[in-house]
Amino acid sequence: MWAEKYAPPQSNIPSDTVELLYRYIEQVDKKVGQLEYSLRAINDLHEAFANDVFENIGIYTSGANGHLVPFRRLVPVDIFLSTNSTSEIKEIEDAIKEYMTELGMPIVYEFSGSPGSWWRRFVAKTEDTLTSKEVTERLERAEHAIELRHSHKIQSEIDKNKGEALSKLILSLENTDEAAILIGSLLLTKTKDGNGKTAIVSRNLTSREVFLIERTPDLLGSPQTLLKKLDLIKDSEGKQIDFDASAEAL
């Protein structure tokens, strides 16, 4: 006990004041212990993440074709939401986690979010050992399911569990005006125009389109601008495009 360890010599300080100080010191000591525990947890998380990243890099640098070798792959998940509502953010993030689990790519790492709208990165990891092509195919099926769900086509065309998780994800976006969710190469956006009309769009990105977002990640914070830039890339198929110059055209 702090009171026993740091008992002061005889003084004229009232006993109730001394007791109050002891309680305060014990509270500080408890808080320090909690912070130390949190720091250890963060260090463990960073170490585990670094090991996963190095394992992935090692496969690509071992001389083998990393795209063809099946292994448990890391899948980045970046989200932008035009809301600061804690309850709305939690609902959407919970829906994303459930959806990723149903895809066989559960979230394994979570990084701190950035307020002022809401930005956050998660990292998922495939439960199965997959090639790069198999991950792409799985995300393409996910895109198709989103299109079916959002266009209100027959629900039986979608696996039941994945359909439920997908429904929750789309419904969770109802109260936010704009959103961009990037799962590997799968992009899901919600936009709202000047007339209040909303649109949910999903598309699987090419390596060139993924590179654009990696080069200018702030684009996720403006889904409408992002979609226009992606259309520019699509229209310039096989041509060289100056991303910086094209921004002025938007």
Give 101 or 26, the one with higher predicted confidence: 101
pLDDT range class, residue 30, cuts 50, 70, 90: confident
**How many angstroms from the chain centroid is the CA of residue 80?**
9
How high is the mean pLDDT of the chain? 80
Residue reference for tokens 């006993």: 15
Give CA–CA dist 213/105, Å, rounded. 22
Q: What are the sequence ranges of the domains in the chain? A: 1-64, 74-248
- pLDDT given for residue 241 in this prediction: 40
For the chain, the residue count is 250
pLDDT for 148: 72
Q: Which of 164, 163, 119, 121 is nearest to 141 (CA)?
A: 163
Tokens of 30: 């408890």
The pLDDT-based confidence of 179 (bands split at 50, 70, 90) is: very high
Instruction: Give whole-number Cα distances, 74 to 49, 55, 210, in Å.
Output: 10, 10, 16
At residue 183, the 3 state secondary structure works out as strand
pLDDT for residue 157 is more than 60: no
Q: Give the model's pLDDT for residue 55.
A: 76
**pLDDT tens-place string over residues 79-88:** 999 998 999 9
Give the tens place of pLDDT for each residue, 35-53. Answer: 887 777 667 767 777 777 7
Mapped onto helix, strand or coil, the DSSP state of residue 116 is coil
What kind and span of H or E run contains 135?
helix 132-150
Residue with tokens 């190095």: 54
Radius of gyration of the chain (CA): 24
- DSSP track, 90-115: HHHHHHHHHHHHHTT--EEEE---EE
pLDDT above 90 for 164: no
